[in-house]
Structure 1
Amino acid sequence: MYQVLARKYRPRNFNELVGQNHVSRALTSALDRGRLHHAYLFTGTRGVGKTTIARILAKCLNCETGITSTPCEVCATCKAVNEGRFIDLIEIDAASRTKVEDTRELLDNVPYAPTQGRFKVYLIDEVHMLSTHSFNALLKTLEEPPAHVKFLFATTDPQKLPITVISRCLQFTLRPLAVDEITDHLSDILNKESIQSEQDAIWQIAESAQGSLRDALSLTDQAIAYGQGAIHHQDVKEMLGLIDRTIIYDLILAIHQNQRERVSQLLLQFRQQALDVSLVLDQFISTLHELAMLQYLPDLSLKYSAEINKKIMTLSQLVSAQDLQLYYQIACKGRADLQLAVTQEQGFEMTVLRLLAFRPLQTNEITISPTVETQQVASKISEQQAVSTEQDIFERNETQTQITAQEIENTTKDSISDLVPEPELTQQAISEQIETATQNHVEQQIVSHSEQIADPSTTLNPQTMIEDTSTVVANSQHQDNLVVEQLNENQIHNKEVQDSDDLSLTSFGTDFSENMQPIQNLAATEDIFFLAPAADVSTPSEQPISKNIPEQLVSENVESHISTQNLSAIVQEQSSDSQQSPQEILKLAPQQLEGEWNVDKWEFWFRNSNLSPAVQELAQHGVMIGQIDGHSTFQISKQYENLLHQTQHALEASLKQQWSNTVFNVQYGEVESITPFHMQNERKVRAFNRATEMLHAEPVIKNLLDAFDGELQNIQLKI
């Protein structure tokens, strides 16, 4: 008669025991030294060897060769125990004998000597199922049993045992078996049974057993029957309803590389195959854990096929550790929320979409968030562009108009002076009022010019110059007060910025257009610049960005503090932008970190250090002076004092870790020189302008724009 693998290959001595070395070592030592306890408690999940160890211990106690850790396996007692007919080994199923009467009957037989063996062994399985009265009846005998009696308890739920019972026993906690241990054991058994198998299939069975050797052997029996005498990987996947691991790897890679079409294809594939999405998400989380472990333990052995192992290793090198942690956290949160979703499929798909939505920035990406000021300025530039072709009307009618710049400027100042906000007005209200006033002023000027054209007696100047004034609210969270200047080709590039409390006036060269089409403002969303060399152009259907991108974005605060030497250096950098790519513009120049601190050395050091993002955020708003590896003073504005108090220790510790002689001080007050924050903003603007310039210089795009009189909107460069 056929005997299932779990019973046929049950260990019969401690040497055959799989895993549980901590238990076998303790029991072997106790048997060899004769230091035997009268009660043992074995706890652990199902199928890890609780009952098996209890039977081996009973055999060791009653072997005819004496008390030994290596029973002979040939005497009558050993054979009887192996065959389950040893009279002095009393196995009791506590789940079916929970009443106190059953326990009393058991205790009535305790005083009698063993019939055949050396000890009378009571093996009570699932002992936690006994009633409270049964435990109370057992306590006295369990504390002081006769010398010929041994109690062996096994349970999967030790929390339900009274502490009075646990304190009378030696407790051994059996751990779930590792996948490697189960795999090796299954391979040995299949070799003995002469059954053909694939390593991936065995590994999958061992992983599905979740630490239970009995479950693994039962699944092996099922796989042999399903595969008609052989175990194949594909059969095991179909039998267990598992998914192909390569699909999980493809999904992680598609999410990491933001391949939305590939992700949608995989989601449709999951729907068509009607897979259990909870199992898919479990496999997804397990794979993320495996990848994270491989990053810290590159020599970790993998039991998959060579092709799958190669994919795993490649993927672990592509995805950074911080990205894996973010993916793992989102996936675990999605796993917990599956039960809250309308359907599990919906919860799974939303988890995948969340992984895409919160995709971390890559190392070659930067985020440029347009501030309120730049959005308003771009809006004014768009309005100017909308009227940029009005000059053609004047030329066709051979008429010109002349309006002095001073007259318009004075008129605009008068209109803006009426808009000085009361203290209770919000920033948004101020911006709306200024924008409305400026637009009304431009319309009035157009009407005035039209009347002059219609009047034949009007004398027109051939050199027509229209100057419009745009108002920018100079206030932002990081004091990033940007003053934008757009100059026509015939205008001088250097204009003086006029400040009036919270308002700054800037002159823009403007022409009038034939069609007064309304131009939308800049989109308020973040633009992500992908600065990889191989870039493709993406133009999402967002609100349009003007073609006339400002050539220069310089902070008002920076301009007031930058010396003439720094200004000339910036001009030289901007002039060299035409020879550089955007990523080269953004890259910091290497610095020799020795001698005296300056702003370039300070920025290069902290942006390449191991400081946390919070500390780096504060560091960019100040400058370091003094000697490197000596007395160093960090100058920063007074408004950051409370924040710096919380992170000052981390900054000082990082400095002293690299330069042990550092004496660190903090000085609060107005920063007189340019800060790394302003330098970074200036680099971002120059990189954006260079990217825009390169895009407009592309022959294909240039031909398209010329042929269809088009324009590029919402310019983005992506990998």
Structure 2
Amino acid sequence: MYQVLARKYRPRNFNELVGQNHVSRALTSALERGRLHHAYLFTGTRGVGKTTIARILAKCLNCETGVTSTPCEVCPTCKAVNEGRFIDLIEIDAASRTKVEDTRELLDNVPYAPTQGRFKVYLIDEVHMLSTHSFNALLKTLEEPPEHVKFLFATTDPQKLPITVISRCLQFTLRPLAVDEITVHLTDVLQKEQIQAEQDAIWQIAESAQGSLRDALSLTDQAIAYGQGAIQHQDVKDMLGLIDHTIIYDLIAAIHQNQKQRVSELLMQFRHQALDVSLVLDQLISTLHELALLQYLPDLSLKYSAEINKKIMQLSQMISAQDLQLYYQVSCKGRADLQLAVTQEQGFEMCVLRLLAFRPLQANEILVSATQQVQQQAPQVNVQAVVHNVQQHVIDEYSAEESLLETPVAVTQQNIEPSSDDFLDEPILDVIETNVTDVTLTENSDQIIFDPASEDALFDLDESNDDVNIVADDEPNSDDFLFDEIAPLNLDVETTITEQLIENDSAVVEDDLFLSQEQMPIESVQPSINSKAELIDEPVPALEQSNIQQHKAAVEVVSNQNSNLMPQDILRLTPQQLEGEWTIEKWEYWFRNSALTPAVQELAQQGVMTGQIDGESLFQIPPKYEQLLNQLQHTLEQALKNEWPNTHFQVKYAEVEATTPYSMQNERKEKAYARASELLHAESAVKDIVQNFDGELQNIQLK
């Protein structure tokens, strides 16, 4: 007769026990030293070995070779225990004998000596099911039983036991088994059974068992029957109704990258497959938890296939830690609200849409203004036509006297293609050559969509190329006039327009484009996973009247030295050969082009590195950064050793008298600012606006 795997492969000694080493070690030591307690309490979830350990202990106590931790398995007592017919092992199901009368009947037989073995062992399973009167009747005997009696209790719910019972027992809490432990055991069992099985299928069964070895063996029996004698991964997924991990990873990636069409396709796929959305949401939350762990424990061994391992590692590198925490919190809140929704499908889909709606803007993402109308032809010569002729996208807002520019227009760092050729023939920027290719104006659309994959982009999203964005703005309450992306400086010029301009050009204003916060969509520009974009947010102080002369002098100096350089060229680091001795230039070039996090790079620029590359290296940094460096030193040291294995990294906390990368970067920024200001002031379009409309440039910023 066929015997199920859970019974056929039940461990018969402590050596065969899977997991629970803390329990087997304590019991083995007690048996070998003869320090035996009279009552043991085994707690834990289902299928982790409570009853099995109790039977092994009963066999160890009664083996005819003596009390031992390694029963012989051949004597009549051992065979009788294995076959469930040992008369002095009294197994009681407390769930079916809860009355106090049953307990009294049991206690009446306690004083009598064992019939066959050395000890009379009472194994009470699910002991928490006993009534209060039964526990009270058991207390006295449990505290001082005869020497030949041992009590073994097993329960899945120890909280229901009276504290008076627990205090009279040695309690052992059995933990749920790890997926690795169950996988190894299932592999061994299937080899003995000579059944072919895919490793991914075994892992899936082990994970679905949720720490219960009995559940895992039962699922294995079911999978063998379902697969007609073999265990296939796809069969296991179909049998258990599981969700493919790849779909969850694709959903997270699509949400993070703002791919609304892809999210829509995945939601429709969930509908068509009629999946249990609560399980899908559980898997989503578990995946977010695993991604967060991988960011802090990158060496965490993954238990998936090579393809899934690659995807999850890419995701952990793509999504920042704070974004993961936000996604996790929103998903958990959605899981709690799932029962409040009209249907679970509705609750799940709203949770996904909430993740998409509240996803943070990434460093490489910007707002794109909505437009009510795209004019294909400009009427007369006006400012809009001028800026279009500079080969830039212009969105100007004119309105009545009380109207203001409500929302700043942010534009992607890409090249622009004008929507019409009917503009002025005279170019505004003769100095700058641009390649205009990458803007698509969608017909009857209120969005301007930029192609992030274009090879003709004005700027590379790279830390070594500090892009320049110059903004000159006026008083906040004046009517605003906006220029976007004057090539390739990416110039945003906001200047004051007097009421005279509004009166003279009122006819032109009506055809211009308007902005409103309600029509302001978010459009995502997605780079590759390893792209790094550094955004310099700190504004350069406004040019006050007192330092105008100083600024003009700086402009003249920079103009003489860097007359042919653009601001981004000034900010770009000179490539270095990373060998030999460390220099300040080599140190800065290495860490700014490394994969270090911004926090580590921020610390690295405050100090200097001396010594040999791929050898003895000494990093000197002021003492005020000691606490921060203590937390991040391992990351910096590991990055150096990954690049140069022979590196011996040391830290010295002392004030740095030499030039630091931080000061060098500030010097480059000042030069780039002066050069950008020079180009901006020399631009004919700006000159015309300043002269004709009494405008002035203020608060120029580098971005």
- TM-score for the superposition, normalised by structure 2: 0.63
Q: The residue matched to 2:91 in structure 1 has which SS?
A: strand
Letter in structure 1 aligned against 2:476: A
The reply to whether residue 94 of structure 1 matches residue 61 of structure 2 is: no
Which residue is equivalent to 1:699?
Answer: none
Verify the 8 A CA contact 1:208 1:216 in the aligned structure 2: yes
Shift of 1:349: 1.3
Letter in structure 2 aligned against 1:148: H
Verify the 8 A CA contact 1:223 1:235 in the aligned structure 2: yes
Verify the 8 A CA contact 2:51 2:125 in the aligned structure 1: yes
For residues 32-78 of structure 1, what are the alpha-carbon distances to aligned partners after superposition, in whole Å with 9 as ceiling and x for unaligned? 00000000000000000000000000000001110000111111111
Task: Provide the rounded CA distance (Å) in 2 between the counterparts of 1:631 and 1:198.
Answer: 56
Task: Provide the rounded CA distance (Å) in 2 between the counterparts of 1:631 and 1:65.
Answer: 69
Verify the 8 A CA contact 1:388 1:510 in the aligned structure 2: no
Which residue is equivalent to 2:329?
Answer: 329
Letter in structure 2 aligned against 1:353: L
Which residue is equivalent to 2:77?
Answer: 77
Which residue is equivalent to 1:194?
Answer: 194
Any residues of structure 2 matched to 1:165-314 within 5 Å, and which?
165-314=165-314
Which residue is equivalent to 2:2?
Answer: 2
Shift of 1:351: 1.8
Verify the 8 A CA contact 1:95 1:129 in the aligned structure 2: yes
Task: Provide the rounded CA distance (Å) in 2 between the counterparts of 1:352 and 1:681.
Answer: 44
The reply to whether residue 146 of structure 1 matches residue 146 of structure 2 is: yes
Which residue is equivalent to 2:428?
Answer: none
Q: The residue matched to 1:117 in structure 2 has which SS?
A: coil
Letter in structure 2 aligned against 1:161: L
Task: Provide the rounded CA distance (Å) in 2 between the counterparts of 1:251 and 1:187.
Answer: 32
Change (3 A) 1:681 1:248: farther
Letter in structure 2 aligned against 1:135: F
Q: The residue matched to 1:435 in structure 2 has which SS?
A: coil
Task: Provide the rounded CA distance (Å) in 2 between the counterparts of 1:41 and 1:294.
Answer: 37
Change (3 A) 1:360 1:108: same
Which residue is equivalent to 2:683?
Answer: none
The reply to whether residue 119 of structure 1 matches residue 107 of structure 2 is: no
The reply to whether residue 16 of structure 1 matches residue 9 of structure 2 is: no
Change (3 A) 1:558 1:75: farther
The reply to whether residue 523 of structure 1 matches residue 523 of structure 2 is: no
Change (3 A) 1:519 1:26: same
Shift of 1:330: 2.4
Higher mean displacement: 347-356 or 567-576: 567-576
Letter in structure 2 aligned against 1:435: E
For residues 652-682 of structure 1, what are the alpha-carbon distances to aligned partners after superposition, in whole Å with 9 as ceiling and x for unaligned? 9999x9984459xxxxxxxxxxx99x99998
Task: Provide the rounded CA distance (Å) in 2 between the counterparts of 1:28 and 1:249.
Answer: 46
Shift of 1:300: 3.5
Shift of 1:532: 5.3
Q: Count matched residues.
A: 522
Change (3 A) 1:570 1:123: farther
Change (3 A) 1:514 1:245: same
Task: Provide the rounded CA distance (Å) in 2 between the counterparts of 1:482 and 1:575.
Answer: 35
Which residue is equivalent to 1:625?
Answer: none
Shift of 1:572: 9.5
Change (3 A) 1:366 1:237: closer
For residues 519-557 of structure 1, what are the alpha-carbon distances to aligned partners after superposition, in whole Å with 9 as ceiling and x for unaligned? 4543334877849599xxxxxxxxxxxxxxxxxx99757
Task: Provide the rounded CA distance (Å) in 2 between the counterparts of 1:70 and 1:40.
Answer: 19
Any residues of structure 2 matched to 1:171-570 within 5 Å, and which?
171-363=171-363, 365=364, 367=366, 434-435=401-402, 474=476, 512=505, 517=510, 519=512, 521-524=514-517, 525=520, 530=525, 563-564=550-551, 565=553
Which residue is equivalent to 1:156?
Answer: 156
For residues 145-188 of structure 1, what are the alpha-carbon distances to aligned partners after superposition, in whole Å with 9 as ceiling and x for unaligned? 10000000000011111111111100000000000110111111
Letter in structure 2 aligned against 1:351: C
Letter in structure 2 aligned against 1:474: P
Task: Provide the rounded CA distance (Å) in 2 between the counterparts of 1:140 and 1:21.
Answer: 32
For residues 316-336 of structure 1, what are the alpha-carbon distances to aligned partners after superposition, in whole Å with 9 as ceiling and x for unaligned? 333344433333232222222
Task: Provide the rounded CA distance (Å) in 2 between the counterparts of 1:122 and 1:631.
Answer: 67
The reply to whether residue 44 of structure 1 matches residue 44 of structure 2 is: yes
Overall identity of the aligned pairs, in %: 69
Task: Provide the rounded CA distance (Å) in 1 between the counterparts of 2:155 and 2:54.
Answer: 12
Any residues of structure 2 matched to 1:621-640 within 5 Å, and which?
none
What is the root-mean-square deviation of aligned Cα atoms in Å? 5.2
Which residue is equivalent to 1:400?
Answer: none
Shift of 1:304: 3.2
Verify the 8 A CA contact 2:103 2:138 in the aligned structure 1: yes
For residues 372-417 of structure 1, what are the alpha-carbon distances to aligned partners after superposition, in whole Å with 9 as ceiling and x for unaligned? xxx9xx99xx9xx988569x9xxxxxxxxxxxxxxxxxxxxxxxxx
Q: Which has the larger share of helix? A: 1
Task: Provide the rounded CA distance (Å) in 2 between the counterparts of 1:529 and 1:127.
Answer: 60
Q: The residue matched to 1:230 in structure 2 has which SS?
A: coil
Which residue is equivalent to 1:54?
Answer: 54
Verify the 8 A CA contact 2:365 2:525 in the aligned structure 1: yes
For residues 108-146 of structure 1, what are the alpha-carbon distances to aligned partners after superposition, in whole Å with 9 as ceiling and x for unaligned? 111111111100101111111111111111111111110
Change (3 A) 1:527 1:355: closer
Task: Provide the rounded CA distance (Å) in 1 between the counterparts of 2:671 and 2:523.
Answer: 15
Task: Provide the rounded CA distance (Å) in 2 between the counterparts of 1:203 and 1:631.
Answer: 50
Shift of 1:238: 0.8
Task: Provide the rounded CA distance (Å) in 2 between the counterparts of 1:437 and 1:246.
Answer: 48
Verify the 8 A CA contact 1:483 1:554 in the aligned structure 2: no
Task: Provide the rounded CA distance (Å) in 2 between the counterparts of 1:561 and 1:588.
Answer: 29
Task: Provide the rounded CA distance (Å) in 1 between the counterparts of 2:285 and 2:118.
Answer: 53
Q: Bigger radius of gyration, 1 or 2?
A: 1
Shift of 1:254: 1.9
Task: Provide the rounded CA distance (Å) in 1 between the counterparts of 2:400 and 2:561.
Answer: 37
Task: Provide the rounded CA distance (Å) in 1 between the counterparts of 2:600 and 2:342.
Answer: 44
Verify the 8 A CA contact 1:611 1:651 in the aligned structure 2: no
Task: Provide the rounded CA distance (Å) in 2 between the counterparts of 1:654 and 1:572.
Answer: 42
Which residue is equivalent to 1:694?
Answer: none
Shift of 1:344: 1.3
Shift of 1:229: 1.2
Task: Provide the rounded CA distance (Å) in 1 between the counterparts of 2:354 and 2:623.
Answer: 48
For residues 192-235 of structure 1, what are the alpha-carbon distances to aligned partners after superposition, in whole Å with 9 as ceiling and x for unaligned? 11111111111111000000001111111111111111111111
Task: Provide the rounded CA distance (Å) in 1 between the counterparts of 2:528 and 2:82.
Answer: 72
For residues 218-268 of structure 1, what are the alpha-carbon distances to aligned partners after superposition, in whole Å with 9 as ceiling and x for unaligned? 111111111111111111111101122221222222223222211111111
Shift of 1:360: 3.4
Change (3 A) 1:251 1:679: farther
Q: The residue matched to 2:73 in structure 1 has which SS?
A: coil
Change (3 A) 1:435 1:679: farther
Task: Provide the rounded CA distance (Å) in 1 between the counterparts of 2:91 and 2:561.
Answer: 87
Verify the 8 A CA contact 2:401 2:479 in the aligned structure 1: no
Task: Provide the rounded CA distance (Å) in 2 between the counterparts of 1:531 and 1:679.
Answer: 30
Change (3 A) 1:51 1:608: closer
Task: Provide the rounded CA distance (Å) in 1 between the counterparts of 2:482 and 2:293.
Answer: 53
Q: The residue matched to 1:122 in structure 2 has which SS?
A: strand
Task: Provide the rounded CA distance (Å) in 2 between the counterparts of 1:309 and 1:629.
Answer: 38
